[in-house]
Amino acid sequence: MQKKLYKLSKSGIHNRGLFAAVDIPKGTRVIEYLGEKITKAESERRAIAWENDARKKGKGLVYIFELNQRYDIDGNIPKNDARFINHSCEPNCEAEVIRGHIWILTLRDIKAGEELTYDYGYDLAHFMDHPCLCGTPSCPGFIVRSDFRARLKRMLAKTRAKKKAHSE
């Protein structure tokens, strides 16, 4: 039996996270993202309901992961430890769909005790709804896909410059 590669622990990024229990080599399948297979329509319905509830309570609860063009995986189930993997703008893991299963794979060698992270890949449209606490040098302060980060930084810089000009 293979030794468990991860452990759940307190995270500086967002409350709890998954951490490497042992050294993990690049390219390793660390954990499968488990959950209920749902249609895109049901996914949208659940995401909107959870987002509204999360705003009221001040916390995030959406664990929906895209599986393919027709289906998503709702990972909000107790046995899905992968739901505790936090976002980072400089991730050490990535999610990959392999034969209908979502796996979290390492992008590089990871040392025991290091937090496991991946890029959540959110769109730019609602960036204000997703503040980022990863603290990496490339972080724009919000969770957005890597190809949107430079654009978001420029948008935020313009906004700060306008506010500064109005206050002078």
CATH number, domain with residue 136: 2.170.270.10
The 10 Å Cβ neighbour count of residue 5 is 21
Q: What is the pLDDT of residues 109-156, one digit of tens each?
A: 999 999 999 999 888 888 888 899 999 998 999 999 999 999 998 999
SS3 of 14-31: CCEEEEECCCECCCCEEE
Q: Is 58 a domain residue?
A: yes
Predicted local distance difference test score (pLDDT) of residue 49:
84
Q: Is 1 a domain residue?
A: no
Judge whether 100 and 106 are in contact, CB under 8 Å: no
Q: Is 40 a domain residue?
A: yes
Q: What is the pLDDT of residues 81-98, one digit of tens each?
A: 999 999 999 999 999 999
Q: Is 124 a domain residue?
A: yes
Domain range for 73: 6-167
List CB contacts of 59: < 8 A, sequence separation 6 or more.
Answer: none
Predicted local distance difference test score (pLDDT) of residue 12:
93
List CB contacts of 98: < 8 A, sequence separation 6 or more.
Answer: 29
Q: Is 86 a domain residue?
A: yes
Q: Is 67 a domain residue?
A: yes
Q: Is 72 a domain residue?
A: yes
The CA distance from 112 to 19, in Å, is 8
User: What predicted TM-score, i.e. pTM, was given to this entire model?
Assistant: 0.86
Q: How many domains does the chain have?
A: 1
Q: How confident is the model at residue 162 (pLDDT cuts 50, 70, 90)?
A: confident
Place of tokens 């392999």: 98
Decide if pLDDT at 1 tops 50: no
Q: What is the pLDDT of residues 26-70, one digit of tens each?
A: 999 999 999 999 999 999 999 888 877 766 765 555 789 999 999
Q: Is 16 a domain residue?
A: yes
